[in-house]
Each structure stands twice: as C-alpha cells, then as structure tokens.
Amino acid sequence: MECYLCKTHAGELSAPLGGYIYEDARWKVCHAPAEKGPLGTLLVESRRHFLDFAEMLPDEASGYGTLLKRLYTELRVLTGAERIYQVVLLEGVQHFHVWILPRTKEIPERGLAFLQKDFTCEERSAQKLATALRMVLN
C-alpha cells in the first residue's frame, strides 16, 4: 500500500492533529495541519481509495453532500465563517480528499486571493475546535 491516506487510515502513519473528528462508513474528517490553513480548515477524506468524483459510488456521493451540509453548518457556528471554500486538487495525494476552508470577516482576502494566502493557526486552537466539532457531529 503506497497511498498516504490509506496508510493513515490503516494506522500505519500518525493520526492527524486532534485525531479524526468524524467517521462513518464512507468518510473521515480531520482538522488540517496547523501550518496549512486558517482555524477550522478541514480535510474530508474518502475511506475507499478512489481519485475523483467520476469514481465516486452513488452512496458515497449522497453521503458526501449530507456530510458537507453538516460541516458547513457547524463550522459557521464554531468559527463565525462568512464563507466556506471547498478545494479539490488531488495532485500530491491521489486519494479523494477535499479541503474545507472557512473565511471569517476578519480576513480581508476574498476568492482566489484568499486561497493564495499562506494561512496558519495555533495547534492548540485547532485541537480545541476539533474537540468541539466532534461533540456536535457525533
């Protein structure tokens, strides 16, 4: 098994910051590394190894939409986000995963300018948010 996410899901690599926040039969959600985005930046990872939406099974697609609705709702409450961005690149890790990035009103950059900026957050704050999100999602 060469896939970074498959190895992480199998417990062969360290769990993400704050552990997995949410897990079901199809999806795992964690806070992104603190140096990779603003507070509340999440990664939604497919349990099954596949690349993109074209390879998604119908139950994965319906579960994905339902999960995103829940994540957007709770992130707005917990972070005060005005907008929530979704980014799918799949270049570095070729296993389906989505970056969820909340933008609060204090962040002046919008759209592509927001996505191009190098944001970070404090690990302790990210772990605290992960705990709060875990409580409302499970």
Which residue range forms the structural domain that includes residue 61?
4-137
Tokens of 89: 């690149």
Phi then psi dihedrals of residue 44, to 5 deg: -105, 120
> What are the average pLDDT values for consecutive 10-residue runs of the chain, which has 138 residues?
90 89 96 95 97 96 96 97 95 94 95 95 95 94
Integer CA distances (angstroms), 111 to 11, 42, 49, 137, 138, in order: 36, 18, 30, 28, 31
Q: What is the CATH number of the domain that holds 14?
A: 3.30.428.10
Please report the pLDDT score of residue 33 as a whole number. 94
- Split into its structural domains, the chain has a count of 1
Q: What is the pLDDT of residue 1?
A: 58
